[in-house]
Amino acid sequence: MPESILELKNISKTFDGKKVIDHLDLTIYKNEFITLLGPSGCGKSTLLRIIGGFVQPDEGRVFCNGVDITDLPPEKRNLHTVFQKYSLFPHYDVAENIAFGLKLKKKSKEYIRDKVKYALRLVNMEGFEHRKPNLLSGGQQQRVAIARAIVNEPEILLLDEPLGALDLKLRQEMQRELMKIKREVGITFVYVTHDQGEALTMSDRIIVMNQGLIQQMGDPKSIYDEPQNAFVADFIGESNIITGIMRKDCLVEIQGQDVMCVDTGFQKDEPVDVVIRPEDLSIVPEGAGFIDGLATDVIYQGAYYDIRVLADDYEWAIQSVNPVMCGTRVGLAILPENIQIMHKPRSADEEVIRGK
Amino acid sequence: MSNTTRGFKWLSGPYLLWCVGFTVIPLLVIVQYAFTDTTGAFTLSNILAILDPIHSKAFLFSLEIALGCTVLCILLAYPLVLVFRRLHLSRGKFMLFVLILPMWMNFILRLLAWQMLLSNNGIINNLLIRLGLQPLAVANTWISIMIGVIYEYLPYMVLPIYNAITDIDEGVIQAAQDLGADSGTIFRKVIFPLSIPGLKSGITMVFVPSMTSFVIADLLGGGRLQLIGNIIEQEFNRSMDWHLGSGLSVALMVFVLISMAFTMKSENVVEEEGRQWRVN
């Protein structure tokens, strides 16, 4: 059992009558890279700000190493935040920005100099010591912001969509670098993002949030392969989500066709949500799959073709390395273990299922 | 692009004409008067007249008033602006509006009002006597002149500082807090350094006019206390000695320009002081 470092107990927060976080419990472990993932307005940033001390929860307590820090102001917490807008001090140069926290702690000149040097090397910004922030690119500014937080050796680094303002290529580069930095400094990262790709790439553990509730938590693979509800399935990557009927264990009826699956424990003839990832479907000759349909759209995406097949009023999304002709009739095939069956929510409210 | 700028350049014509006619030419005329005597011969005596005891006394008094006014305006402006910043945006704007409101009234009227408030049997003293307190004897003293200049010029200090400080990104302040800075440190290390451009224009807009004003001293100093501006005004309007008036004006102008240059430099010193932060 890994050692816990931060515990959130029964946290609630309401803004303007809207419940942003609803009785949330969460334990964060030492040295993990944990990502809070969800659409905008799901409460993930508020949660991060509660951890950082910038927002006071209406209810609930925050514990760090077993000590209640709920009422501590941000400057008294041994956690540092990397903001989306970088928020570097415009009147200080790069080295002065990074030294800010250390100066406040009255560290010796030599110590600060060594630390700044180390941090600049860590984020690959050697030689930029005396640049002013306004002369740096967005990616460089974010590196400095990360260095500025890390030199203080926080127990936890909070990252609030730090790569959100960068373009795709730079973002991917920075993702790799963040992971490298994480490995080198060995501290806990709490990362907030709405980008599921980013979350899947970097995290040890992902917390999927919606409407102030934890929808699911787990390692990236389990989140992707076994989404626990339609929200998670839909939010994490593209999914085909279609209503089916569970005939018996390991047999589900999809669009009137019985299809083998591996899920058990459902009631006989229970209506269920069937989730199938586009890359798990394969195109086969008409009649050879579990269902036939008309290829309505084929888009070349580089590594694969994005294909839409219309069958019985449902448009299936398929990713295939082999193209098909638009307008031809094809069959769709699926391996039983790639079908994910989920209970249907009983009401719209239950759409948001509390995480375990 | 250069085409469009060229096309619109003539729009600045009226202002240029105004500027040449009412600033540049009069200035040249004053300089010419300053360096000549009544016969038209070159002389430095009009300029050096500033060293005359009566003149230099008025000059030093002006300097005291201007420095005092500037320092007090700075000390008043910062807390005010910090409060405005804390207030909800719309309320901060309203407070600012209240501060600026008197500026819509005529300058002389405002001073006459202060004259009535501060005079020996004025409103304030009446009130104090009725409360059984000692009346104040501030009428026609440097204190009433100081009150007058501060009242007149405080908005010119507050506005640029307010603009500079509200321009500071909230994220930058939160970052400082996140890195362990308490509110005093945030002011010293973040808010104040970033407000320096505003402070700079504030000083220019308060120091120069309070140094050269004469109406305020006329109305609130009772004509007994003379600023250098009063003396210049008297040379032009009463003694009709335009040469001496111009000479004193030029001397004052040179002093103001030098002190402004010095101000810019001393602000660099402030910035340099922030540089004890410098690493390496």
Q: Which of residues 219-238 of B touch A (CB under 8 A)?
A: none
pLDDT of B72 higher than 90: yes
Q: Which of residues 145-174 of B touch A (CB under 8 A)?
A: 169, 171-172, 174
What local confidence, expressed as pLDDT, does residue B273 receive?
44
CATH of the domain at B247: 1.10.3720.10
What local confidence, expressed as pLDDT, does residue A151 receive?
93
Angle at CA A98, nearest 5°, toward A96 and A103?
70
pTM of the model: 0.78
- Which residue of chain A comes nearest to B277, CA vs CA? A96
pLDDT of B206 higher than 80: yes
- Which residue of chain B comes nearest to A111, CA vs CA? B279
Inter-chain residue contact A85 with B169, CB threshold 8 Å: yes
DSSP string, A253-315: EETTEEEE-----PPTTEEEEEEE-GGG-EEE-TTSSSEEEEEEEEEE-SSSEEEEEEETTEE
Complex-level ipTM: 0.77
What local confidence, expressed as pLDDT, does residue B61 receive?
92
- Cβ pair B191, B262 in contact under 8 A: no
In 3D space, the residue among A2, A3, A1, A8 whose CA is nearest the CA of residue A207 turns out to be: A8
Q: Give the neighbor-by-neighbor strand order of the sheet with A213-218.
A: A79-82, A156-160, A188-193, A33-37, A205-210, A213-218
Q: Is residue B138 part of a domain?
A: yes
Chain centre distance of CA A274? 23
Q: Which amino acid is at A163?
A: L
Q: Is residue B10 part of a domain?
A: no
Closest CA of chain A from B181, distance in Å: 6
- As a whole number, the mean pLDDT across chain A is 89
Inter-chain residue contact A104 with B277, CB threshold 8 Å: no
Of the pLDDT bands very low, low, confident and very high (cuts 50, 70, 90), residue B21 is very high
The answer to whether B182 faces chain A, any CB pair under 8 Å, is yes
- Cβ pair A144, A93 in contact under 8 A: no
**Does residue A229 or residue B69 have the better pLDDT?**
B69
Helix axes B170-178, A138-150, angle to 10 degrees: 30
**Phi, psi of A113, deg, nearest 5:** -60, -45
**Does residue A349 or residue B140 have the better pLDDT?**
B140
**Phi, psi of A216, deg, nearest 5:** -165, 145
**Phi, psi of A206, deg, nearest 5:** -115, 135
The average pLDDT across A293-301 equals 91
pLDDT of A118 higher than 90: yes
The average pLDDT across A91-103 equals 94
- Cβ pair A246, A267 in contact under 8 A: yes
Inter-chain residue contact B179 with A89, CB threshold 8 Å: no
Question: In chain B, what percentage of residues exceed pLDDT 90?
Answer: 39
Q: Is residue B5 part of a domain?
A: no
Domains in chain B, number:
1
What local confidence, expressed as pLDDT, does residue A344 receive?
80
d(CA B158, CA A295): 69
Q: Give the neighbor-by-neighbor strand order of the sheet with A18-29.
A: A18-29, A4-15, A59-64, A67-68
What local confidence, expressed as pLDDT, does residue B6 receive?
64
Q: Is residue B212 part of a domain?
A: yes
Angle at CA A344, nearest 5°, toward A342 and A348?
130
Domains and CATH numbers, chain A: 4-225 (3.40.50.300), 240-348 (2.40.50.140)
pLDDT of A179 higher than 50: yes
Q: Which amino acid is at A81?
A: T
What local confidence, expressed as pLDDT, does residue B5 receive?
61
Q: Is residue B246 part of a domain?
A: yes
- Cβ pair B165, B81 in contact under 8 A: yes
Inter-chain residue contact A99 with B174, CB threshold 8 Å: no
Inter-chain residue contact A88 with B175, CB threshold 8 Å: yes
Q: Is residue B162 part of a domain?
A: yes
**Does residue B139 or residue A38 have the better pLDDT?**
A38
- Residue ranges making up the domain that contains B137: 53-274
Inter-chain residue contact A75 with B190, CB threshold 8 Å: no
- Cβ pair A235, A260 in contact under 8 A: no
- Cβ pair A265, A296 in contact under 8 A: no
The average pLDDT across B77-91 equals 84
Q: Is residue B4 part of a domain?
A: no
What local confidence, expressed as pLDDT, does residue A1 receive?
62
Helix axes A138-150, A168-185, angle to 10 degrees: 20
Q: A-chain residues within 8 Å CB-CB of B182? A: 75
Closest CA of chain A from B156, distance in Å: 24
Which of B171, B179, B279 is nearest residue A80 as measured by Cβ atoms?
B179
Structure tokens at A252: 């589900």
Q: B-chain residues within 8 Å CB-CB of A98? A: 279
Q: A-chain residues within 8 Å CB-CB of B176? A: 89, 100
CA distances to A120, A126, A234, B180 from A144, rounded to whole Å, are: 8, 11, 35, 17
Per CB distance under 8 Å, which residues of A are interface residues toward B? 52, 54, 73-76, 80-81, 83, 85, 87-92, 95-96, 98-101, 103-105, 112-113, 116, 129, 145, 148-149, 152
Inter-chain residue contact A99 with B277, CB threshold 8 Å: yes
Which of A87, A99, A104 is nearest residue B175 as measured by Cβ atoms?
A87
Interface mutation target, options A55, A72, A87, A109, chain B, most CBs of B under 10 Å = A87
- Cβ pair A89, A97 in contact under 8 A: yes
pLDDT of B218 higher than 80: yes
Of the pLDDT bands very low, low, confident and very high (cuts 50, 70, 90), residue A203 is very high
Q: A-chain residues within 8 Å CB-CB of B184? A: none
Q: Is residue B171 part of a domain?
A: yes
Beta strands A291-300 and A257-260, pairing class:
unpaired
d(CA A241, CA A263): 16
Inter-chain residue contact B179 with A129, CB threshold 8 Å: no
**Does residue A304 or residue A166 have the better pLDDT?**
A304
Inter-chain residue contact B174 with A148, CB threshold 8 Å: no
Inter-chain residue contact A96 with B172, CB threshold 8 Å: no
**Does residue B102 or residue A214 have the better pLDDT?**
A214
Question: In chain A, what percentage of residues exceed pLDDT 70?
Answer: 96
What local confidence, expressed as pLDDT, does residue A72 receive?
92
The average pLDDT across A116-140 equals 91
